[in-house]
Amino acid sequence: MFYVFLFASLLALLESHVHEYDRNLLSTVHKPPNFAGYCDGDAEIYSYHIHVLFWQNNKKHVDSALELRQEFIKKFELEEKECDMFPGDPAPGHDMCVFGVDLVAAGPFTTAQYAFFIPPQQLQETSAWMLQHRGVHDVFIHPNTGCETYDHTEWYTFSGAKWPIDASIFTCNYPGCRPALSDSGY
């Protein structure tokens, strides 16, 4: 009887643990305690981000990543179009813009990166260009629905190597949510 109780207790402990492995087992995803379970495949997509991830300790890699950024800015006429919203904001109706460069790991990213804010109607053209010109760099594309955890851990795509994402910083996990700068770890 004791072993049955021990086995049942172990199963209950395993089921209550909030840690789960992502689909390809290359990294772990830690869902925050405030994770709302009602983000599903029907959440409206308001915008996208295209991130370029690169090795911050390799000068050649940094230089070529920054060159790629400038080429994208020139191609899509984004000079002087810095993003003026918080990175987690889905910003419905906002024009395409450029976020700053993080030369160290920041937010949910475990390496250097930069990003572009992309309205849905421009995703095809911009992502096709980036995928064809990325060179040695890794590209992470995700939607912005307000469901930050799902946007970054379930509804994304990588081109190149898949980097781990730290979803524990996300505070906005319901459709249409617009996080405040003070609410997040960005």
Question: Does the pTM exceed 0.85?
Answer: no
pLDDT number for residue 127 = 97
Residue 175's pLDDT is 86
Average pLDDT per consecutive 10 residues, the chain (186 residues; last block may be shorter): 40 36 36 55 91 95 97 97 90 94 91 96 97 96 92 90 88 82 46
Helix/strand/coil (H/E/C) assignment for every residue in the chain: CHHHHHHHHHHHHHHHCCEEECCCCCCEEECCCCCCCCCCCCCCCCEEEEEEEECCCCHHHHHHHHHHHHHHHHHCCCCCCECCCCCCCCCCCCCCEEEEEECCCCCCECCEEEEEEECHHHHHHHHHHHHHHCCCCEEEEEEECCEHHHHHHCCCEEECCCCCECHHHCCCECCCCCCCHHHCCC
pLDDT at residue 23 in the model: 33
The per-residue pLDDT for 75 is 98
